[in-house]
Structure 1
Amino acid sequence: MVVHSNLLAEGLDDILHTVLSAGDDELLVINPTAETVEALVSVATAFDGDLPTVRVVADDTLLKTVVDDFIVASNAANLVDEGVLSLKTGAGSEENSLIVTEDAVLALVTTGDRVAALATDDEEFVDSAYETYVEQSEEAPEFKLRTPSISVVRESLEADISERIRADFDTVLSSLQTARGDGQGLDEVTISLLVAAKNDVLLYDISKWGEDIGIASKATFSRTKTKLEDMGLIDTEKVPIDVGRPRLRLKLGDDRLRQADADQLAGVAQSLLT
Protein backbone atom coordinates (compact mmCIF):
# COMPACT_ATOMS: atom_id res chain seq x y z
CA MET A 1 0.00 0.00 0.00
CA VAL A 2 1.55 3.29 -1.11
CA VAL A 3 0.15 6.58 0.20
CA HIS A 4 -1.38 8.54 -2.68
CA SER A 5 -4.30 10.30 -0.97
CA ASN A 6 -4.51 13.09 1.57
CA LEU A 7 -4.32 12.05 5.19
CA LEU A 8 -6.00 13.79 8.14
CA ALA A 9 -5.41 12.87 11.77
CA GLU A 10 -5.49 14.15 15.33
CA GLY A 11 -1.72 14.12 15.62
CA LEU A 12 1.59 13.53 13.91
CA ASP A 13 1.93 10.05 15.37
CA ASP A 14 -1.07 8.78 13.40
CA ILE A 15 0.15 10.34 10.14
CA LEU A 16 3.67 8.97 10.56
CA HIS A 17 2.47 5.50 11.51
CA THR A 18 0.35 5.39 8.35
CA VAL A 19 3.27 6.53 6.21
CA LEU A 20 5.69 4.04 7.79
CA SER A 21 3.14 1.27 7.25
CA ALA A 22 2.58 2.09 3.58
CA GLY A 23 5.08 -0.39 2.21
CA ASP A 24 7.64 1.98 0.70
CA ASP A 25 11.28 0.92 0.83
CA GLU A 26 12.53 4.43 1.57
CA LEU A 27 11.20 7.70 2.92
CA LEU A 28 12.81 11.11 2.67
CA VAL A 29 11.77 13.53 5.43
CA ILE A 30 12.73 17.02 4.33
CA ASN A 31 12.77 20.16 6.50
CA PRO A 32 10.84 18.62 9.40
CA THR A 33 9.87 20.55 12.51
CA ALA A 34 11.33 19.51 15.86
CA GLU A 35 7.96 17.99 16.74
CA THR A 36 8.03 15.92 13.55
CA VAL A 37 11.51 14.53 14.27
CA GLU A 38 10.55 13.67 17.85
CA ALA A 39 7.33 11.98 16.71
CA LEU A 40 9.14 10.10 13.94
CA VAL A 41 11.68 8.66 16.38
CA SER A 42 8.93 7.73 18.85
CA VAL A 43 6.70 6.05 16.26
CA ALA A 44 9.58 4.23 14.57
CA THR A 45 10.88 2.98 17.93
CA ALA A 46 7.49 1.52 18.85
CA PHE A 47 6.71 0.28 15.31
CA ASP A 48 5.74 -3.38 15.10
CA GLY A 49 6.90 -4.56 11.70
CA ASP A 50 9.49 -3.90 9.03
CA LEU A 51 10.46 -0.27 8.78
CA PRO A 52 11.47 1.48 5.57
CA THR A 53 14.80 3.27 5.43
CA VAL A 54 14.18 6.84 6.61
CA ARG A 55 16.47 9.68 5.56
CA VAL A 56 15.96 12.94 7.46
CA VAL A 57 17.38 16.23 6.19
CA ALA A 58 16.88 18.99 8.73
CA ASP A 59 18.36 22.21 10.04
CA ASP A 60 21.46 21.56 12.15
CA THR A 61 20.31 23.77 15.02
CA LEU A 62 16.92 22.07 15.08
CA LEU A 63 18.52 18.63 15.30
CA LYS A 64 20.81 19.76 18.12
CA THR A 65 17.78 20.99 20.05
CA VAL A 66 15.88 17.75 19.48
CA VAL A 67 18.72 15.50 20.65
CA ASP A 68 19.20 17.50 23.83
CA ASP A 69 16.47 15.16 25.03
CA PHE A 70 18.21 11.93 26.02
CA ILE A 71 15.07 9.88 25.39
CA VAL A 72 14.83 11.05 21.78
CA ALA A 73 18.58 10.94 21.18
CA SER A 74 19.15 7.43 22.57
CA ASN A 75 16.22 6.00 20.62
CA ALA A 76 17.37 7.79 17.46
CA ALA A 77 20.85 6.31 17.97
CA ASN A 78 19.25 2.88 18.18
CA LEU A 79 17.51 3.41 14.83
CA VAL A 80 20.76 4.67 13.28
CA ASP A 81 22.63 1.62 14.59
CA GLU A 82 19.96 -0.62 13.06
CA GLY A 83 20.42 1.06 9.67
CA VAL A 84 16.84 2.33 9.64
CA LEU A 85 17.47 6.04 10.17
CA SER A 86 19.97 8.56 8.87
CA LEU A 87 20.17 12.18 10.01
CA LYS A 88 21.62 14.80 7.68
CA THR A 89 21.88 18.55 8.00
CA GLY A 90 20.45 20.90 5.38
CA ALA A 91 19.58 24.55 4.97
CA GLY A 92 15.90 24.06 5.75
CA SER A 93 14.85 26.51 3.05
CA GLU A 94 11.66 24.66 2.03
CA GLU A 95 8.45 26.27 3.26
CA ASN A 96 6.83 22.94 4.16
CA SER A 97 7.87 19.79 5.89
CA LEU A 98 7.83 17.11 3.20
CA ILE A 99 7.74 13.33 3.11
CA VAL A 100 8.96 12.09 -0.26
CA THR A 101 8.86 8.55 -1.65
CA GLU A 102 9.37 7.16 -5.15
CA ASP A 103 5.61 7.35 -5.69
CA ALA A 104 4.29 10.36 -3.79
CA VAL A 105 5.11 13.69 -2.17
CA LEU A 106 3.32 14.64 1.03
CA ALA A 107 3.34 18.10 2.63
CA LEU A 108 2.74 18.09 6.39
CA VAL A 109 0.40 20.85 7.50
CA THR A 110 -0.67 21.52 11.10
CA THR A 111 -3.81 23.53 11.83
CA GLY A 112 -4.86 23.84 15.43
CA ASP A 113 -5.12 20.33 16.86
CA ARG A 114 -5.31 18.57 13.49
CA VAL A 115 -2.52 17.43 11.18
CA ALA A 116 -2.82 16.78 7.46
CA ALA A 117 -0.51 15.19 4.93
CA LEU A 118 -1.46 16.66 1.57
CA ALA A 119 -0.41 14.23 -1.14
CA THR A 120 0.32 14.34 -4.84
CA ASP A 121 1.19 11.39 -7.05
CA ASP A 122 1.65 13.37 -10.28
CA GLU A 123 4.31 11.22 -11.89
CA GLU A 124 6.44 13.98 -13.40
CA PHE A 125 6.39 16.09 -10.25
CA VAL A 126 7.09 13.14 -7.95
CA ASP A 127 9.97 11.88 -10.09
CA SER A 128 11.55 15.33 -10.09
CA ALA A 129 11.08 15.82 -6.36
CA TYR A 130 12.39 12.38 -5.50
CA GLU A 131 15.49 12.82 -7.65
CA THR A 132 16.13 16.29 -6.19
CA TYR A 133 15.79 15.25 -2.56
CA VAL A 134 17.71 11.99 -2.92
CA GLU A 135 20.59 14.01 -4.32
CA GLN A 136 20.22 16.56 -1.52
CA SER A 137 20.24 13.86 1.16
CA GLU A 138 23.29 12.15 -0.34
CA GLU A 139 25.26 15.39 -0.46
CA ALA A 140 24.16 16.71 2.95
CA PRO A 141 26.61 16.37 5.86
CA GLU A 142 25.84 13.65 8.37
CA PHE A 143 24.57 14.83 11.75
CA LYS A 144 26.78 13.34 14.46
CA LEU A 145 24.80 11.82 17.30
CA ARG A 146 26.96 11.83 20.41
CA THR A 147 24.43 9.98 22.55
CA PRO A 148 24.79 6.20 22.89
CA SER A 149 21.86 4.07 21.77
CA ILE A 150 19.39 3.03 24.42
CA SER A 151 20.29 -0.62 23.71
CA VAL A 152 23.94 0.05 24.55
CA VAL A 153 22.91 1.91 27.71
CA ARG A 154 20.70 -0.95 28.91
CA GLU A 155 23.08 -3.77 28.03
CA SER A 156 26.12 -2.06 29.55
CA LEU A 157 24.31 -1.07 32.74
CA GLU A 158 23.33 -4.67 33.30
CA ALA A 159 26.74 -6.05 32.37
CA ASP A 160 28.90 -3.45 34.13
CA ILE A 161 26.82 -2.75 37.24
CA SER A 162 23.72 -4.88 37.80
CA GLU A 163 20.45 -6.11 36.35
CA ARG A 164 18.58 -4.28 39.09
CA ILE A 165 20.06 -0.88 38.25
CA ARG A 166 19.25 -1.44 34.58
CA ALA A 167 15.63 -2.20 35.48
CA ASP A 168 15.41 0.89 37.72
CA PHE A 169 16.98 3.08 35.01
CA ASP A 170 14.37 1.85 32.50
CA THR A 171 11.55 2.46 34.96
CA VAL A 172 12.69 6.00 35.75
CA LEU A 173 13.17 6.81 32.06
CA SER A 174 9.72 5.48 31.14
CA SER A 175 8.16 7.74 33.78
CA LEU A 176 9.53 10.83 32.02
CA GLN A 177 8.21 12.48 28.87
CA THR A 178 11.49 14.31 28.28
CA ALA A 179 14.97 14.02 29.73
CA ARG A 180 16.58 17.39 29.06
CA GLY A 181 17.53 18.64 32.50
CA ASP A 182 16.19 22.12 31.72
CA GLY A 183 13.09 21.96 33.88
CA GLN A 184 11.31 19.65 31.41
CA GLY A 185 12.83 16.51 32.85
CA LEU A 186 15.93 15.18 34.54
CA ASP A 187 18.99 14.76 32.34
CA GLU A 188 20.70 11.41 31.82
CA VAL A 189 23.52 12.10 34.29
CA THR A 190 21.10 13.03 37.07
CA ILE A 191 18.97 9.97 36.33
CA SER A 192 22.03 7.73 36.40
CA LEU A 193 23.20 9.15 39.74
CA LEU A 194 19.78 8.90 41.37
CA VAL A 195 19.35 5.29 40.25
CA ALA A 196 22.90 4.53 41.40
CA ALA A 197 22.15 6.10 44.80
CA LYS A 198 18.95 4.06 45.07
CA ASN A 199 21.08 0.94 44.62
CA ASP A 200 24.08 2.00 46.78
CA VAL A 201 26.48 2.02 43.81
CA LEU A 202 29.93 3.59 44.00
CA LEU A 203 30.34 6.97 42.31
CA TYR A 204 33.47 5.58 40.64
CA ASP A 205 31.52 2.72 39.06
CA ILE A 206 28.62 4.76 37.69
CA SER A 207 30.83 7.59 36.43
CA LYS A 208 33.27 5.17 34.76
CA TRP A 209 30.34 3.41 33.11
CA GLY A 210 28.92 6.74 31.91
CA GLU A 211 32.24 7.91 30.50
CA ASP A 212 33.02 4.58 28.86
CA ILE A 213 29.77 4.47 26.87
CA GLY A 214 29.75 8.18 26.06
CA ILE A 215 27.01 9.63 28.26
CA ALA A 216 29.29 12.16 29.98
CA SER A 217 32.75 12.53 31.45
CA LYS A 218 33.65 11.49 34.98
CA ALA A 219 34.07 15.20 35.75
CA THR A 220 30.48 15.89 34.69
CA PHE A 221 29.25 13.05 36.89
CA SER A 222 31.28 14.44 39.79
CA ARG A 223 29.96 17.99 39.34
CA THR A 224 26.37 16.76 39.12
CA LYS A 225 26.87 14.59 42.20
CA THR A 226 28.13 17.63 44.13
CA LYS A 227 25.12 19.68 43.03
CA LEU A 228 22.67 16.95 44.07
CA GLU A 229 24.53 16.46 47.34
CA ASP A 230 24.40 20.19 48.09
CA MET A 231 20.64 20.12 47.49
CA GLY A 232 20.16 17.14 49.79
CA LEU A 233 19.07 14.62 47.15
CA ILE A 234 22.18 12.46 47.45
CA ASP A 235 24.46 11.48 50.32
CA THR A 236 27.81 9.71 50.13
CA GLU A 237 29.76 7.47 52.44
CA LYS A 238 33.46 6.66 52.19
CA VAL A 239 34.45 3.11 51.29
CA PRO A 240 38.09 2.23 52.05
CA ILE A 241 40.11 0.48 49.36
CA ASP A 242 43.46 -1.28 49.58
CA VAL A 243 45.42 1.40 47.74
CA GLY A 244 44.59 5.06 47.23
CA ARG A 245 41.86 7.38 48.42
CA PRO A 246 38.57 5.92 49.68
CA ARG A 247 35.79 5.73 47.13
CA LEU A 248 32.32 7.19 47.63
CA ARG A 249 29.20 5.08 47.86
CA LEU A 250 26.10 6.93 46.68
CA LYS A 251 23.00 7.02 48.89
CA LEU A 252 19.67 8.77 48.52
CA GLY A 253 19.70 11.77 50.84
CA ASP A 254 16.03 12.53 51.36
CA ASP A 255 13.42 10.32 53.03
CA ARG A 256 10.92 11.11 50.25
CA LEU A 257 13.36 9.67 47.71
CA ARG A 258 14.21 6.67 49.88
CA GLN A 259 10.52 5.82 50.22
CA ALA A 260 9.77 6.27 46.51
CA ASP A 261 9.45 3.37 44.10
CA ALA A 262 11.50 3.57 40.90
CA ASP A 263 8.52 4.88 38.89
CA GLN A 264 8.08 7.69 41.44
CA LEU A 265 11.76 8.59 41.80
CA ALA A 266 11.92 11.12 38.96
CA GLY A 267 8.77 12.94 40.03
CA VAL A 268 9.93 13.24 43.64
CA ALA A 269 13.38 14.38 42.54
CA GLN A 270 11.94 17.02 40.22
CA SER A 271 9.74 18.37 43.02
CA LEU A 272 12.80 18.68 45.25
CA LEU A 273 14.86 20.39 42.54
CA THR A 274 12.27 23.12 41.86
Structure 2
Amino acid sequence: MEHIEITSYDDCLVSCLDEPSVDHWRVRTDDPEFLSAFIDVLQEEDPVGKRIEWLCDQDVIKGLEKNFVRAAKASDLVTESTLTIRESTDAAPNTPTVLVSPEQTVSLLPVGDGEAVQVDITEEAACERLWEKHQSEWDIAMPHSIDTPPYSRLVTMAEQKLGDGVGADIDTAYTAVESRSPDEQPEPVTVSLLVGAKHELLLNDIVDWAETSTLATQGTVSKLKQRLEEFDIIATESKSVGVGRPRQRLVFSDESMQSLPADELLAHVQGVLA
Protein backbone atom coordinates (compact mmCIF):
# COMPACT_ATOMS: atom_id res chain seq x y z
CA MET A 1 0.00 0.00 0.00
CA GLU A 2 1.22 3.51 -0.81
CA HIS A 3 0.55 6.83 0.88
CA ILE A 4 1.46 10.07 -0.90
CA GLU A 5 1.59 13.60 0.53
CA ILE A 6 3.55 16.83 0.38
CA THR A 7 5.54 17.39 3.55
CA SER A 8 8.62 19.12 4.89
CA TYR A 9 11.86 17.23 5.34
CA ASP A 10 11.70 17.91 9.08
CA ASP A 11 8.17 16.54 9.46
CA CYS A 12 8.99 13.47 7.37
CA LEU A 13 12.05 12.66 9.46
CA VAL A 14 10.28 13.18 12.77
CA SER A 15 7.44 10.95 11.59
CA CYS A 16 9.87 8.20 10.56
CA LEU A 17 11.80 8.34 13.82
CA ASP A 18 8.56 8.25 15.81
CA GLU A 19 7.19 5.25 13.89
CA PRO A 20 6.87 2.54 16.59
CA SER A 21 6.93 -0.38 14.16
CA VAL A 22 10.37 0.56 12.74
CA ASP A 23 13.57 0.53 14.79
CA HIS A 24 16.09 0.44 11.93
CA TRP A 25 16.31 3.08 9.19
CA ARG A 26 18.87 3.31 6.41
CA VAL A 27 19.13 6.61 4.54
CA ARG A 28 20.41 7.23 1.02
CA THR A 29 20.64 10.80 -0.24
CA ASP A 30 22.84 13.31 -2.05
CA ASP A 31 20.51 16.26 -1.32
CA PRO A 32 22.37 18.82 0.87
CA GLU A 33 19.11 20.37 2.06
CA PHE A 34 17.74 17.02 3.21
CA LEU A 35 21.08 16.16 4.79
CA SER A 36 21.02 19.37 6.86
CA ALA A 37 17.51 18.56 8.07
CA PHE A 38 18.56 14.97 8.76
CA ILE A 39 21.42 16.04 11.05
CA ASP A 40 19.30 18.66 12.84
CA VAL A 41 16.37 16.33 13.47
CA LEU A 42 18.60 13.52 14.74
CA GLN A 43 20.15 15.94 17.23
CA GLU A 44 16.79 17.26 18.38
CA GLU A 45 14.95 13.94 18.54
CA ASP A 46 17.77 11.81 20.03
CA PRO A 47 16.15 8.56 18.80
CA VAL A 48 17.08 6.17 21.61
CA GLY A 49 16.73 2.52 20.62
CA LYS A 50 16.73 3.24 16.89
CA ARG A 51 19.46 2.18 14.46
CA ILE A 52 20.08 4.99 11.98
CA GLU A 53 22.48 4.44 9.11
CA TRP A 54 23.54 6.68 6.24
CA LEU A 55 24.98 5.24 3.04
CA CYS A 56 26.73 8.08 1.25
CA ASP A 57 28.80 8.74 -1.85
CA GLN A 58 32.33 10.14 -1.56
CA ASP A 59 31.45 13.51 -3.09
CA VAL A 60 28.50 13.95 -0.73
CA ILE A 61 30.51 13.26 2.43
CA LYS A 62 33.31 15.53 1.19
CA GLY A 63 30.74 18.28 0.67
CA LEU A 64 29.45 17.79 4.20
CA GLU A 65 32.94 17.95 5.68
CA LYS A 66 33.61 21.31 3.99
CA ASN A 67 30.88 22.79 6.20
CA PHE A 68 32.60 22.77 9.58
CA VAL A 69 29.51 23.18 11.76
CA ARG A 70 27.49 20.54 9.90
CA ALA A 71 30.43 18.15 10.02
CA ALA A 72 30.92 18.78 13.75
CA LYS A 73 27.26 18.05 14.44
CA ALA A 74 27.40 14.88 12.34
CA SER A 75 30.54 13.91 14.27
CA ASP A 76 28.51 14.32 17.46
CA LEU A 77 25.93 11.85 16.19
CA VAL A 78 28.59 9.31 15.22
CA THR A 79 30.42 9.67 18.55
CA GLU A 80 27.17 9.13 20.45
CA SER A 81 26.38 6.05 18.29
CA THR A 82 23.19 7.72 17.07
CA LEU A 83 24.36 7.51 13.45
CA THR A 84 26.53 5.06 11.52
CA ILE A 85 28.05 6.19 8.22
CA ARG A 86 29.40 4.09 5.37
CA GLU A 87 30.78 5.29 2.06
CA SER A 88 29.47 3.57 -1.05
CA THR A 89 32.00 1.84 -3.29
CA ASP A 90 29.75 2.50 -6.27
CA ALA A 91 29.16 6.22 -6.87
CA ALA A 92 25.61 6.93 -7.98
CA PRO A 93 25.07 10.52 -9.18
CA ASN A 94 21.63 12.04 -8.64
CA THR A 95 20.79 9.48 -5.98
CA PRO A 96 17.12 9.78 -4.98
CA THR A 97 16.45 10.39 -1.30
CA VAL A 98 15.04 7.29 0.35
CA LEU A 99 14.64 5.98 3.89
CA VAL A 100 14.52 2.21 3.88
CA SER A 101 13.59 -0.31 6.57
CA PRO A 102 12.43 -3.92 6.47
CA GLU A 103 8.89 -2.74 7.27
CA GLN A 104 8.57 0.52 5.32
CA THR A 105 10.23 2.55 2.57
CA VAL A 106 9.90 6.31 2.23
CA SER A 107 10.85 8.05 -1.00
CA LEU A 108 11.14 11.84 -1.21
CA LEU A 109 10.80 13.85 -4.41
CA PRO A 110 11.95 17.43 -3.71
CA VAL A 111 9.69 20.33 -4.68
CA GLY A 112 11.78 23.13 -3.14
CA ASP A 113 11.84 25.19 0.06
CA GLY A 114 12.60 22.17 2.22
CA GLU A 115 9.52 20.26 1.07
CA ALA A 116 9.02 17.09 -0.92
CA VAL A 117 6.40 14.71 -2.22
CA GLN A 118 6.60 11.84 0.26
CA VAL A 119 5.73 8.36 -0.98
CA ASP A 120 5.32 5.72 1.74
CA ILE A 121 5.50 2.06 0.73
CA THR A 122 4.43 -0.58 3.24
CA GLU A 123 3.59 -3.50 0.93
CA GLU A 124 5.57 -6.41 2.41
CA ALA A 125 7.09 -7.91 -0.74
CA ALA A 126 8.18 -4.51 -2.10
CA CYS A 127 9.78 -3.51 1.22
CA GLU A 128 11.63 -6.82 1.44
CA ARG A 129 13.10 -6.43 -2.06
CA LEU A 130 14.14 -2.84 -1.45
CA TRP A 131 15.72 -3.73 1.89
CA GLU A 132 17.67 -6.62 0.32
CA LYS A 133 19.04 -4.27 -2.35
CA HIS A 134 20.16 -1.65 0.14
CA GLN A 135 21.51 -4.31 2.51
CA SER A 136 23.76 -5.62 -0.26
CA GLU A 137 25.07 -2.10 -0.92
CA TRP A 138 25.61 -1.52 2.80
CA ASP A 139 27.54 -4.77 3.26
CA ILE A 140 30.21 -3.82 0.71
CA ALA A 141 30.40 -0.13 1.68
CA MET A 142 33.36 1.24 3.65
CA PRO A 143 32.94 2.53 7.23
CA HIS A 144 33.51 6.29 7.33
CA SER A 145 34.64 8.39 10.27
CA ILE A 146 34.42 12.19 10.37
CA ASP A 147 37.67 13.89 11.39
CA THR A 148 35.94 17.06 12.59
CA PRO A 149 35.71 17.22 16.41
CA PRO A 150 32.20 16.67 17.84
CA TYR A 151 30.24 19.90 18.23
CA SER A 152 29.16 19.28 21.82
CA ARG A 153 32.76 18.62 22.83
CA LEU A 154 33.85 22.01 21.47
CA VAL A 155 31.07 23.92 23.23
CA THR A 156 31.19 22.01 26.53
CA MET A 157 34.97 22.18 26.83
CA ALA A 158 34.90 25.89 26.00
CA GLU A 159 32.52 26.48 28.89
CA GLN A 160 34.59 24.32 31.23
CA LYS A 161 38.07 25.54 30.26
CA LEU A 162 37.47 29.13 29.19
CA GLY A 163 34.78 30.37 31.56
CA ASP A 164 31.08 31.05 31.97
CA GLY A 165 29.34 32.23 28.83
CA VAL A 166 32.20 31.38 26.46
CA GLY A 167 30.66 28.11 25.29
CA ALA A 168 27.32 29.82 24.69
CA ASP A 169 28.98 32.57 22.64
CA ILE A 170 30.94 30.04 20.58
CA ASP A 171 27.68 28.16 19.95
CA THR A 172 25.98 31.42 18.88
CA ALA A 173 28.87 32.36 16.59
CA TYR A 174 29.11 28.93 14.96
CA THR A 175 25.35 28.82 14.47
CA ALA A 176 25.52 32.20 12.72
CA VAL A 177 27.81 30.80 10.01
CA GLU A 178 26.24 27.34 9.70
CA SER A 179 23.86 28.22 6.86
CA ARG A 180 26.53 29.98 4.79
CA SER A 181 28.26 28.20 1.94
CA PRO A 182 31.65 26.74 2.94
CA ASP A 183 33.45 29.39 0.86
CA GLU A 184 31.80 32.14 2.93
CA GLN A 185 32.49 30.60 6.34
CA PRO A 186 35.38 31.93 8.41
CA GLU A 187 37.84 29.45 9.89
CA PRO A 188 36.41 27.92 13.08
CA VAL A 189 39.59 28.96 14.90
CA THR A 190 39.07 32.55 13.73
CA VAL A 191 35.57 32.45 15.19
CA SER A 192 36.97 31.15 18.47
CA LEU A 193 39.65 33.87 18.61
CA LEU A 194 36.99 36.55 18.18
CA VAL A 195 34.97 35.07 21.03
CA GLY A 196 38.20 34.91 23.01
CA ALA A 197 38.80 38.63 22.46
CA LYS A 198 35.20 39.37 23.45
CA HIS A 199 35.87 37.64 26.79
CA GLU A 200 39.47 38.93 27.02
CA LEU A 201 40.85 35.42 27.37
CA LEU A 202 44.49 34.40 27.60
CA LEU A 203 45.87 33.16 24.29
CA ASN A 204 47.40 30.14 26.04
CA ASP A 205 43.96 29.11 27.28
CA ILE A 206 42.54 29.30 23.76
CA VAL A 207 45.43 27.19 22.46
CA ASP A 208 44.93 24.63 25.24
CA TRP A 209 41.21 24.37 24.46
CA ALA A 210 41.83 24.09 20.70
CA GLU A 211 44.43 21.35 21.12
CA THR A 212 42.51 19.39 23.78
CA SER A 213 39.31 19.44 21.74
CA THR A 214 41.34 18.53 18.59
CA LEU A 215 40.07 21.64 16.82
CA ALA A 216 43.53 22.94 15.88
CA THR A 217 47.21 23.03 16.76
CA GLN A 218 49.06 25.86 18.44
CA GLY A 219 50.61 26.77 15.08
CA THR A 220 47.21 27.18 13.43
CA VAL A 221 45.88 29.31 16.29
CA SER A 222 48.97 31.55 16.19
CA LYS A 223 48.78 31.95 12.42
CA LEU A 224 45.12 32.99 12.44
CA LYS A 225 45.64 35.29 15.43
CA GLN A 226 48.40 37.03 13.48
CA ARG A 227 46.05 37.51 10.52
CA LEU A 228 43.44 39.16 12.75
CA GLU A 229 46.18 41.41 14.14
CA GLU A 230 47.27 42.38 10.63
CA PHE A 231 43.71 43.50 9.90
CA ASP A 232 43.77 45.46 13.18
CA ILE A 233 40.81 43.49 14.52
CA ILE A 234 42.40 42.09 17.65
CA ALA A 235 45.48 42.89 19.71
CA THR A 236 47.22 41.34 22.68
CA GLU A 237 48.05 42.78 26.07
CA SER A 238 50.67 41.38 28.43
CA LYS A 239 49.30 39.97 31.67
CA SER A 240 51.54 39.01 34.56
CA VAL A 241 50.70 35.61 36.01
CA GLY A 242 53.39 35.44 38.67
CA VAL A 243 56.61 33.57 37.98
CA GLY A 244 57.63 33.29 34.33
CA ARG A 245 56.98 35.27 31.21
CA PRO A 246 53.83 37.42 30.99
CA ARG A 247 50.91 35.86 29.12
CA GLN A 248 49.11 37.37 26.14
CA ARG A 249 45.51 38.44 26.67
CA LEU A 250 43.29 38.83 23.60
CA VAL A 251 41.46 42.15 23.21
CA PHE A 252 39.77 44.04 20.39
CA SER A 253 41.64 46.89 18.74
CA ASP A 254 38.32 48.75 18.66
CA GLU A 255 36.81 48.65 22.15
CA SER A 256 33.30 49.27 20.79
CA MET A 257 33.28 45.72 19.39
CA GLN A 258 33.35 44.35 22.94
CA SER A 259 29.63 44.92 23.47
CA LEU A 260 28.48 43.28 20.22
CA PRO A 261 26.64 39.94 20.52
CA ALA A 262 28.68 37.04 19.14
CA ASP A 263 26.66 36.72 15.92
CA GLU A 264 26.76 40.47 15.16
CA LEU A 265 30.45 40.53 15.98
CA LEU A 266 31.08 37.84 13.42
CA ALA A 267 29.11 39.65 10.72
CA HIS A 268 31.05 42.85 11.41
CA VAL A 269 34.44 41.14 11.19
CA GLN A 270 33.48 39.23 8.05
CA GLY A 271 32.97 42.55 6.31
CA VAL A 272 36.50 43.61 7.28
CA LEU A 273 38.12 40.32 6.27
CA ALA A 274 36.28 40.06 2.94
3-state SS of paired residue (1:86): strand
Tell me how far apart the structure 2 counterparts of residues 29 and 251 of structure 1 sit (CA, whole Å). Answer: 46
Aligned partner (choices 11, 25, 29) of residue 31 of structure 1: 29
179 and 186 in structure 1: CA distance in 2 versus 1, 3 angstrom threshold: farther
Q: What is residue 10 of structure 2 aligned with on the other side? A: 13
3-state SS of paired residue (1:103): coil
3-state SS of paired residue (2:143): coil
- 8 Å Cα contact 1:71/1:173 also seen in 2: yes
- In the TM superposition, residue 127 of structure 1 has moved relative to its aligned partner by 0.7
Residue 151 (str. 1) matches residue 188 (str. 2): no
- Render the CA deviation track for 1:61-105: whole Å, top value 9, x for unaligned: 211211222221222122112211111111342742221011122
- 8 Å Cα contact 2:47/2:82 also seen in 1: no
- Render the CA deviation track for 1:181-214: whole Å, top value 9, x for unaligned: 621x333211111111111112222122112211
3-state SS of paired residue (2:34): helix
Unaligned runs of at least 5 residues, structure 2:
none
Tell me how far apart the structure 2 counterparts of residues 204 and 194 of structure 1 sit (CA, whole Å). Answer: 15
TM-score by length of 1: 0.87
- Render the CA deviation track for 1:23-58: whole Å, top value 9, x for unaligned: 320110013322222210011112276473210011
Tell me how far apart the structure 1 counterparts of residues 62 and 180 of structure 2 sit (CA, whole Å). Answer: 14
Tell me how far apart the structure 2 counterparts of residues 273 and 7 of structure 1 sit (CA, whole Å). Answer: 46
- 8 Å Cα contact 1:193/1:225 also seen in 2: yes
Residue 195 (str. 1) matches residue 195 (str. 2): yes
136 and 53 in structure 1: CA distance in 2 versus 1, 3 angstrom threshold: same
116 and 234 in structure 1: CA distance in 2 versus 1, 3 angstrom threshold: same
Tell me how far apart the structure 1 counterparts of residues 132 and 166 of structure 2 sit (CA, whole Å). Answer: 48
Tell me how far apart the structure 2 counterparts of residues 126 and 49 of structure 1 sit (CA, whole Å). Answer: 22
Q: What is residue 92 of structure 2 aligned with on the other side? A: 93
Tell me how far apart the structure 1 counterparts of residues 147 and 106 of structure 2 sit (CA, whole Å). Answer: 31
Taking only the aligned residue pairs, the percentage that are identical comes to: 26
| Residue-pair matches, total | 269
Tell me how far apart the structure 2 counterparts of residues 178 and 186 of structure 1 sit (CA, whole Å). Answer: 12
- In the TM superposition, residue 273 of structure 1 has moved relative to its aligned partner by 2.2
Q: What is residue 77 of structure 2 aligned with on the other side? A: 79
3-state SS of paired residue (2:43): helix
3-state SS of paired residue (2:41): helix
Residue 252 (str. 1) matches residue 252 (str. 2): yes
Tell me how far apart the structure 1 counterparts of residues 107 and 50 of structure 2 sit (CA, whole Å). Answer: 19
- In the TM superposition, residue 230 of structure 1 has moved relative to its aligned partner by 0.9
3-state SS of paired residue (2:102): coil
Unaligned runs of at least 5 residues, structure 1:
none
TM-score by length of 2: 0.87
176 and 31 in structure 1: CA distance in 2 versus 1, 3 angstrom threshold: closer
Q: Trace 1:194-213 onto structure 2 (pairs within 5 A).
A: 194-213=194-213
**Alignment root-mean-square deviation, CA:** 2.4
3-state SS of paired residue (1:136): helix
Q: Trace 1:1-274 onto structure 2 (pairs within 5 A).
A: 5-9=3-7, 11-23=8-20, 24-47=22-45, 50=48, 52-90=50-88, 91-93=90-92, 95-113=95-113, 114-178=115-179, 182-183=183-184, 185-240=185-240, 242-243=243-244, 246-274=246-274
Aligned AA (1:166): G
- Render the CA deviation track for 1:154-195: whole Å, top value 9, x for unaligned: 221122221231222223234444377621x33321111111
Aligned AA (1:141): M
- In the TM superposition, residue 115 of structure 1 has moved relative to its aligned partner by 0.9
Tell me how far apart the structure 1 counterparts of residues 148 and 27 of structure 2 sit (CA, whole Å). Answer: 22
